[in-house]
A and B are shown apart, each in its own frame.
Chain A
Amino acid sequence: MRYMLSAYSREGQVREPVNEEQARESYARLGVVEREMAQAGAWVFSGRLHESDTATVVRYAGGEVLTTDGPFAETKDHLGGFYVVEAADLDAALGWAARVTECIGVPVEVRPFAAFADEPQA
């Protein structure tokens, strides 16, 4: 089973840790979790995103493609980063999510993939 672990951060909200040393420490702890994910064969892919104000939306409407500035969702909570993990069941995925949220201090949403392709389909 594959799961998407999405870390959401609130726009403009300064979260703990506040100083650089704490930030370094939390990244170091996250690094440990990620290495454990890899060793357990759970890590598939992960990434961290720039702030949501760097986002651009394209949409197909009335026969043409419109490009607009800004994030798609009109909320204050935006995807800040994500992990794609392989886990036996939801409890195992929730276990990884718990480790991640402990390090980064923002909520992590866990969602199962309906299907997952490792390569583009021919």
Chain B
Amino acid sequence: MNRKPDVDEAAVGRIFRAESGRSVSALIGWFGDIDVAEDAVQEAFAVAVRKWPQDGLPPNPGGWITTTARKRAIDRLRREARGRQLLGEAALLAAPDDPVEEDVDTVPDDRLRLMFTCCHPALSLEARVALTLRLLGGLSTAQVADAFLVSEPTMAQRLVRAKRKIKAARIPYRTPGPAELPDRLHAVLGVLYLLYNAGLAGRGQVDLCGEAIRLARVLAGLMPDEPEAAGLLALVLLVESRRAARTGPDGSFVPLGDQDRRRWDVALIDEGHEIVRACLRRDRPGPYQVQAAINAVHADAPTAEQTDWPQVLALYDHLLALAPTPVVALNRAVAVAEVHGPAAALALVDELDLPDYYAYHATRADLLRRLSRPEEAAAAYARAAAAAPTDAERIFLEQGGRGAR
């Protein structure tokens, strides 16, 4: 026996989290039932916690989890009448596969199908996010609840309801065909980006940013022909490269222009750049790719003053054409301020209708300050602070934006 005392429960948990999405998705494919898959993988986890610290890691932990969970599921289904029926018909979800041989090397990677099911537009956005974290991210219900600041019973109920709808309405378990794919992929990308941004807002104990990046990597790997999947991955990598620099030593919020660029993560920037360049070569632009390109321009500047703002503005023009939303127009106005001055930018901002969006008031406040209109700026800072998503940003805005510098 190759005893490996370094495999403690925390290590088992980490490995499990990384592998469970793949196991859950394979089991759903075989048994056509989300609950059966979820419970079986959970049971396999309990076995691993007991066995791995004693026996050491199996050579292929992912395969071990899937094989163990599959055996557990079959054992359990044989014991239950409903299960026997399920094994007989092997179908509650649409298009289940036949259970395959023992050979774990042939376990299909069904995570893409599972992503499209979890992010189906027939589910509410909050259900999509919760299902994605639970089933693909392998987070416990308690962890998902913590990430979204709701109680565990509330989150459990949300998950139960979503799974019931998938089953009752027969939301399919498959990658959509070419006609539906653009819309449906957009929904998946939207959930992952929402997860990343929830992580930036720093709610709860779970590293949602890391989770979003991990899933974005999986998606980009499984859809190599979809440049927007690559675009989302590049975008979150580049934003992530600056995450540490967003927070000062005292926990305060540091905006992009004031960040210590030595604290940016060069490895993440390089990886993001590489993907952006590949997207440019492919020349099938979309909103996520263009946002990634904008972030790549920022990452290129050794100092804030050396930022290529005309290039940023040109990219925002492109983005606004692809995604004509008020939020994009607001971000474009920030670039306009750098290229054409704050007065031109303020004229654009004042045309927007975003009364509840903190960044709208924060941007207006900054422009008013630069135009030497301090009373109006102070009022705008106050409105921005009242709507700020994090305490650090609220304090930053209460101090008049750059007051801390």
Contact = CB atoms under 8 A, between A and B. Distances in A.
Interface of A: 1, 3, 88-91, 94, 110-112, 114
A89 B172 contact: yes
B342 to A, nearest CB: 44
Contact of B172 (A3, A91, A111): A91
B180 interface: yes
B170 interface: yes
Given A89-B94, A94-B122, A112 B176 contact: no
B94 A88 contact: yes
Nearest to A92: B172
13 contacts: A1-B170, A88-B94, A88-B172, A89-B95, A89-B170, A89-B172, A90-B120, A90-B169, A90-B170, A90-B171, A91-B176, A110-B169, A112-B170
The B contact surface, by secondary structure, is loop
A1 B168 CA distance: 10
Interface residues of B, number: 11
Contacts of A90: 120, 122, 169-172
Contacts of B168: 112, 114
Given A89-B94, A90-B122, A112 B169 contact: yes
Contacts, number: 26
Contacts of B172: 88-91
A3 B170 CA distance: 10
Interface of B: 94-95, 120, 122, 168-172, 176, 180
Contacts of B120: 90
B33 to A, nearest CB: 15
B120 to A, nearest CB: 8
Contacts of B180: 91
A91 B120 CA distance: 10
B118 to A, nearest CB: 14
The 10 closest A-B CB pairs, nearest first, are A89-B94, A89-B172, A89-B170, A112-B169, A90-B169, A90-B171, A1-B170, A91-B172, A90-B170, A112-B168
A94 B170 CA distance: 11
A23 to B, nearest CB: 29
Given A111-B169, A112-B170, 14 more contacts: A1-B170, A3-B169, A88-B94, A89-B94, A89-B171, A90-B120, A90-B169, A90-B170, A90-B171, A90-B172, A91-B172, A94-B122, A112-B168, A114-B168
**Dominant SS at the A interface?**
mixed
A24 B377 CA distance: 58
A90 B94 CA distance: 9
* Most A Cβ at <10 Å: residue of B169, B171, B180: B169
Nearest to B166: A90
Nearest to B94: A89
A116 to B, nearest CB: 13
A114 B167 CA distance: 11
A113 to B, nearest CB: 10
A65 B85 CA distance: 43
A59 B176 CA distance: 45
Contacts of A110: 169
A107 B63 CA distance: 46
B304 to A, nearest CB: 48
A112 B172 CA distance: 13
A110 B122 CA distance: 10
Nearest to A3: B169
A44 to B, nearest CB: 16
B240 to A, nearest CB: 34
Contacts of A89: 94-95, 170-172
Nearest to B179: A95
B172 to A, nearest CB: 4
Contacts of A3: 169
B187 to A, nearest CB: 13
Contacts of B171: 89-91
Nearest to A88: B94
A16 to B, nearest CB: 24
Contacts of B176: 91
A91 B171 CA distance: 7
Contacts of A88: 94, 172
Contacts of A1: 170
Nearest to B121: A94
A22 to B, nearest CB: 27
A85 to B, nearest CB: 13
A112 B165 CA distance: 9
Contacts of A94: 122
A110 B120 CA distance: 14
A34 B20 CA distance: 45
Nearest to B168: A112
